[in-house]
Amino acid sequence: MPTKISDSKLATLYASFEAQKRSNPNLKLGTEQALQILAQVGDRSGWSAAKTLTELKKPGATRDQQIDIAKKGLSTTEKKDLATILDSGSVPLEASAKEFLSAVLGRTGPGPTPGGDTGVAGFQVTADQANGLSGTTKAGATIEAINLTTAPTGRYHTDDTFVVGKADANGKFTNAKLTGDMAMKEGDVIRMRARYADGTTSDWVNIKANTAETKDSRNAQVSILRIGLTAGANGTINVENINSSRQISEPGAKIQFTNLRSGDKQVVTLDGEGNFPANLKLKGKAGDNFSVAASDGVNNTDFRTTVGNVTVPGGTVAGDILPDPALHKDELNADGTPKFGKKLFTGPLFVDGAKPGDVQQGQIGNCYFPAAVAAIAQANPEVLQNMVKANGDGTYTVTFKERDWSTGRTKDVPVKVDGDFYARSYGGPLYGHSSNSSDPAKMEMWFPLIEKAYAQWKGSYDTIGNGGHAGDVFEDFTGAQGRSIGTGGSADNVWKTITTAIDAKKPVAAGTHDDGGPVNYTNTGVYGDHAYSILGYEKSGTERYVVLRNPWGESEPAGNGANDGVFKLKLEEFQKLYDNVMYTN
């Protein structure tokens, strides 16, 4: 049923979002759509929606300034419309958009609340956190939290959460604690919410951790690999987060960019999601190198300690011998030019052979590929070691298998590539890379070379970067025919399929259900619409476990030890969370 909105212009805009959702059921409204919504309701005297949107997206505008612009133009009716979109809108909101619109209505602020009791309707957090997080909410509600100070250096989304406690029959919760790489220290920014029995949640609340420590000793952490720079017009550099669903640093952190050529310094304050303000620009030109330093307002306030350097793409690449597969469309500017430059890598082809832990998925959306390759590395690493060869002239030949379906026979398909890769601004590979190092002279080369050759063979990084099937990769690498079964059948049949393939040293992978499908992945540590390697199986008494690996090389269910992406699930849980198993005959 269409959402009822009183403001006619806003109603028209929201109806267009509802139409988009009908063709794309997984659609969520993000920050860009939130700005469009606010442009319709934030029309101050004499300003059109277009003018308001221009002001909201003005270069350098902070989140607080955007909120102020929107608030000044809100009528009582428009406030009710915003509340309707937040509370009962038919199109879901991403966490960033929800927090943005909530802040305009005064429900939450864009940054953390330091000290004192704080919260939103139905959820209050108390200031005394020395023994863990405490507060009040509805009876029996689950308490969810994420440490936004430590999260940037992992592959966490801004709305990923971990269950830290549960409210009692009186709605009170105490000693709720984050653990592992999320464990909080004094001054950390913690994002919390309550999840009620009916599955709905409270709004987010950001707090500054107030622990038993005497001082804030942990500075804001920075995900330098997400910083993207491109040369703009008139001596400016465009700055963006190349993965905006994840953070650059904690909310409100200050980032200083220093142009090492000109000495120019610019300090940027991150928004309530820990991301750059819209349309951020620096002074500089192609090829300029910037040092990056951060401060949480307590530590490193003089920006003396840096976290690394980022470079604006430009110029030629030594060793660029052969034409490269084109970038994914998401890594192209509006005019079709690349956002990223290339860098020559000269590291060893293999370090102790091919291992699953070598494989790490990059920026591209091809989880099926690294999941399949890591599964092959586990089952039969010789396949990978035999398929890629150094030619001694700076090039490498990767040999795939192609099946002639009319005869059933396969033939070798050699693909020659060189050792340059598209690189992020900090210097590491943009796409698939190896876990041992991001140093161009040290990184193990076999996996990124194979991925590059696969993109070359199939057409481009865009061709291989919009989803796929691990079984197809198994065929292209081994020549054996791919197979798959659903997980919804007999547990014994699923178990037999996995164990038989593993025992026969066949590669095995698994895919989860689509986001928005039959499974809610919140707090599971497993991601929807994602592929995983199956590395093995275990038995303990009557319990049966499936051992899996996330191709990110991190992010897994809580309580699995090192955050290396490797974890095990009981067979019944595996069947619930995963949709299919892929293997070869």
CATH code of residue 188: 2.60.40.10
In-domain check, residue 404: yes
Domain count across the chain? 4
Whether residue 108 is predicted with pLDDT greater than 80 in this model: the reply is no
Average pLDDT over residues 574-584: 96
Mean pLDDT score, 223-249: 93
* Res. 17: pLDDT tops 80: yes
Instruction: Please check whether residues 414 and 490 belong to one and the same domain.
Output: yes
Residues 6+ apart with CB under 8 A from 488: 575
Structural domain for 266, as ranges: 225-311
- Of 104, 127, 148, the domain-final residue: 104
- Please check the confidence at residue 35 and state whether its pLDDT lies above 50: yes
Report if residue 146 sits inside a domain.
Answer: yes
Residues 375 and 396 in one domain: yes
Model pLDDT, residue 560:
79
CA distance 549 to 374: 8
3 found inside a domain: no
Q: 199 and 247 share a domain?
A: no
Residues 327 and 402 in one domain: yes
Task: Give a yes or no: residue 535 inside a domain.
Answer: yes
Per-residue pLDDT at 90: 87
Q: How many CB atoms lie within 10 A of CB 361?
A: 27
For residues 287 and 415, membership in a common domain is answered with no
**CATH number where 509 lies:** 3.90.70.10
Give yes or no for residue 566 having a pLDDT over 70: yes
Mean pLDDT of 208-237: 92
Q: Which of 252-261, 307-316, 357-366 is predicted least confidently?
A: 307-316
Is a pLDDT exceeding 60 seen at residue 570? Answer: yes
What average pLDDT does this structure show over 520-547?
94
Q: State the pLDDT confidence band at 245, using cuts at 50, 70 and 90.
A: confident
Do 187 and 233 share a structural domain? no
**pLDDT per residue over 458-493, tens digit each?**
999 999 999 899 999 999 999 999 999 999 989 999
Please give the pLDDT value at position 52: 83
At residue 272, the pLDDT reads 85
Do 381 and 248 sit in the same domain of this protein? no
DSSP letter assigned to residue 495 = H
Position 548 in a domain: yes
Instruction: Give 171-206 pLDDT, tens digit per residue.
Output: 999 999 998 888 999 999 999 999 998 888 888 888
Q: In the structure, what pLDDT confidence band is assigned to residue 46 with cuts at 50, 70 and 90?
A: low
What does DSSP assign to residue 423?
B
Q: How does the average pLDDT of the chain come out, rounded?
A: 89
158 has pLDDT over 80: no
Please check whether residues 329 and 195 belong to one and the same domain. Answer: no
The answer to the question of residue 216 being in a domain is: no
Co-location of 461 and 548 in the same domain: yes
**Burial annotation 19-30 (CB, 10 A radius, 16+ → b, else e):** eebeeeeebbbb
Asked if residue 585 belongs to a domain, the reply is: yes
Residue 388: pLDDT above 70? yes
Residue 102 has pLDDT above 70, yes or no: yes
**pLDDT for the residue 327:** 94
Q: Which of 200-209, 374-383, 550-559 has the highest mean pLDDT?
A: 374-383
Inter-CA distances, 36 with 17, 137, 149, 334, Å? 11, 33, 29, 20
Q: Buried b / exposed e across 49-67, counting CB within 10 Å, b at 16+?
A: beebbebbeeeebbbbebb
Whether residues 229 and 330 share a domain: the answer is no
How far apart CA 548 and CA 438 sit, in angstroms, is: 25
Strand ranges (DSSP E) for 377-459?
388-390, 395-404, 409-418, 420-422, 433-434
In a domain, residue 111? The reply is no
Instruction: Report the alpha-carbon angle 460-462-463, nearest 5.
Output: 70
CATH code for the domain in which residue 298 is found = 2.60.40
pLDDT tens for 297-349 read: 999 999 999 999 999 988 666 667 898 999 999 998 888 889 999 999 999 99
Is the four-CA dihedral 374, 380, 382, 387 of positive or negative sign?
Answer: negative
Same domain, residue pair 322 and 306: no
Mean pLDDT of 145-157: 91
Measured distance CA(363)–CA(417) in Å, rounded: 20
Q: Does residue 410 sit in the same domain as residue 503?
A: yes
Buried b (16+ CB within 10 A) or exposed e, 238-251: bbbbbbbbbbbbbb
Domain termination residue (choose one: 291, 311, 331): 311
- Kindly indicate the confidence band of residue 45, based on its pLDDT and cuts at 50, 70 and 90: very low
Which of 32-36, 63-67, 357-361, 407-411 has the least mean pLDDT?
63-67
Mean pLDDT score, 389-416 = 92
pLDDT at 63 over 60: yes
pLDDT at residue 265 tops 70? yes
Q: What percent of the chain has pLDDT over 90?
A: 59
pLDDT at residue number 113:
47
pLDDT of residue 500: 97
CB proximity list for 541: less than 8 A, separation 6 or greater: none
Q: Which residues pair with 536 in a beta bridge?
A: 547
Q: Tokens in use for 275?
A: 């991301």
pLDDT of 111 above 50: no
Out of 311, 331, 357, pick the residue that ends a domain.
Answer: 311
Confidence of residue 43 (pLDDT cuts 50, 70, 90): low
Looking at the predicted structure, is the pLDDT value of residue 276 above 50? yes
CA nearest to 452, candidates 422, 477, 413: 422
